Amino acid sequence: MELVIAGAAVVRQSWLLVALRTNPQAVAGRWELPGDEVRENESEQSALEREFTTEFGMSLNCVDRILSDRVVLSWPTGDGETTSATLRVYRCQLPTGATFDPSMGEPRPSMSQYEASRWVHLDDLDSVSPWRDADRMFAGEIADYYYGDSTWQQAD
């Protein structure tokens, strides 16, 4: 079975939600788009909804899939090995009324997969570091996509 990782592009007023990974150890301490591995018999959207409910204690609305797939040849597995994986990104929205204050680091993670979260401005993506390589590339593409899509800008 192909390993698929679903990532959430949550943007509000030109700020992208990112999270600092705690495990597996091979990627701990790196910033990424919040997301998770898609389990057997689970849709990519369901994986993201599960991750946000578990990790951030809130629901998530997956709007649509954006950008091209990114293949990662050495994705760390829980047993210390690596495998190849396909990363897919979905444009997502937090529930209406969810706290949005870039200085607060909310929504806060439960510390299971992430030790921190932060809103990073799309014009200053390197204000957080280090990134997971594929996620940094996606973040730049998300910024370009967001700024080129007036409908997305109005919807956030």
- Tell me: the pLDDT tens digits for 23-41? 777 788 999 999 999 999 9
- Domain containing 33 equals 4-150
- Whether residue 156 lies inside any domain: the answer is no
Backbone angles phi, psi at 140, to 5 degrees: -65, -40
What pLDDT is attached to residue 1? 59
Helix, strand and coil percent figures for the chain, each rounded to 5: 25, 35, 35
Tokens 């578990």 correspond to 54
**Does residue 115 belong to any structural domain of this protein?**
yes
E strand spans, the chain: 4-12, 15-21, 31-32, 35-37, 61-76, 82-93, 114-121
CA 8 to chain centre: 4
Q: How far apart (Å, rounded) are the C-alpha atoms in residues 3 and 116? A: 25
Cα separation, 103 vs 84, whole angstroms: 36
**Is 155 domain-assigned?**
no
pLDDT band for position 113 (cuts 50, 70, 90)? confident
Give the percent of the chain with pLDDT over 90.
Answer: 53
pLDDT, one tens digit per residue, over 49-98 is: 999 999 888 889 999 999 888 887 776 666 677 778 899 999 999 887 67
CATH number of 16's domain: 3.90.79.10
Q: What is the pLDDT of residue 92?
A: 94
- Whether 87 is in a domain gets the answer yes
Domains: count for the chain: 1
